[in-house]
A and B are shown apart, each in its own frame.
Chain A
Amino acid sequence: MNELSAMQGFKPVAVPDGEREINGVYIGDLLSWVMGRAKADDAWITIMTNINVVAVASLADTACIVLAEGVNPDASVVETANAKGVNIISSEMPAYETAKAIGI
């Protein structure tokens, strides 16, 4: 997690659990698909930034949310993520390039 947020093209947004290991990647914006198909410890790549992504990441137990295309969440989302121990990083790249850069 810490390694990834320090990589070229990535930026930490909220990293309350930097030691967390990433073991896979899931890409998707529809929350119930993410709930049903993402695996625990996946990096979840999305362009959704509303507050509900924090609960989804927490409950589906993903390693982190990766916001693609350089999108930015509201301050309140960052605050909630920090409070709930949910990692968020952002990427300048589209989802596919972001996944390739994570390269798992």
Chain B
Amino acid sequence: MVNEMAEPLIFHFDVDGDNFTSAGQASVQVKKNLRQLGIDPETIRRVSIAMYEGEINMVIHAKGGEADVIVSDESIEIILKDTGPGIANIEQAMQEGFSTAPDNIRSLGFGAGMGLPNMKRYTDYMQIDSVVGEGTTITMRVNF
């Protein structure tokens, strides 16, 4: 897609865990960067949605974390890493409607339990590695 890319491009972000007003900033920045690279709008949209859901989850459920986005010839890979509480039952968390979001978060419009399902739906590959008490790493890929 991005022609003759010699080396993969890597964008790195620290995601602030206690600021809801700026939540989503890394995703908004990635969208901007991908636009500048001339990547097609549908691919950008898929990456934006998947990354935003993951970024918001790190803010809401894990007090923040780190995000890396790797753009190569074949794909855009998103790696989200946090040292939050971890996910005890991944299968349950992946179900539409499952949410542990507290009331104050729900009043902002989050907590539908649709974030992880959206991430799965909009990417070609998604892997969740999580250890309770240690943290969660989510790897997603959108292929060109």
Report whether over half of chain B's contact residues are helix, strand or loop; otherwise say mixed.
Answer: helix
Q: Are B41 and A55 in contact (CB under 8 A)?
A: no
A36 is an interface residue with CB less than 8 A from chain B: yes
CA distance A84 to B48 in the complex (A): 15
Q: Are A60 and B41 in contact (CB under 8 A)?
A: no
Q: Are B28 and A59 in contact (CB under 8 A)?
A: yes
Which of B45, B48, B49, B110 has the most chain A CB within a 10 Å cutoff?
Answer: B49
Q: Shortest Cβ distance from B127 into chain A, in angstroms?
A: 20
**List of B residues within 8 angstroms of A40 by Cβ:** 41-42, 45
Q: Shortest Cβ distance from B139 into chain A, in angstroms?
A: 20
Q: Are A31 and B109 in contact (CB under 8 A)?
A: yes
Contact of A50 among B108, B114, B121 (CB under 8 A): B108
CA distance A41 to B53 in the complex (A): 20
Report whether over half of chain A's contact residues are helix, strand or loop; otherwise say mixed.
Answer: helix
**List of A residues within 8 angstroms of B53 by Cβ:** 32, 35
Q: What's the tally of chain A residues with a CB closer than 8 Å to chain B?
A: 21
B21 is an interface residue with CB less than 8 A from chain A: yes
Q: Are B109 and A52 in contact (CB under 8 A)?
A: yes
B1 is an interface residue with CB less than 8 A from chain A: no
Q: Are B114 and A35 in contact (CB under 8 A)?
A: yes
Q: Are B28 and A52 in contact (CB under 8 A)?
A: no
Q: Check A52/B112 contact, CB under 8 A, given A35-B53, A36-B49, A36-B121.
A: no
Q: Check A52/B49 contact, CB under 8 A, given A32-B114, A36-B114.
A: no
B115 is an interface residue with CB less than 8 A from chain A: yes
Q: Shortest Cβ distance from A68 into chain B, in angstroms?
A: 14
Q: Shortest Cβ distance from A31 into chain B, in angstroms?
A: 4
CA distance A35 to B121 in the complex (A): 11
Q: Are A55 and B52 in contact (CB under 8 A)?
A: yes
B interface, CB within 8 angstroms of A: 20-21, 23-25, 27-28, 31, 41-42, 45, 48-49, 52-53, 108-115, 117-118, 121-122
In the complex, 27 of the A-B residue pairs with CB atoms within 8 angstroms, ordered by the A residue number, are A30-B109, A30-B112, A30-B114, A31-B108, A31-B110, A32-B112, A32-B113, A32-B115, A32-B118, A35-B49, A35-B114, A36-B49, A36-B114, A40-B41, A40-B42, A50-B108, A50-B109, A52-B20, A55-B23, A55-B25, A55-B28, A56-B24, A59-B31, A59-B49, A60-B48, A60-B49, A76-B21
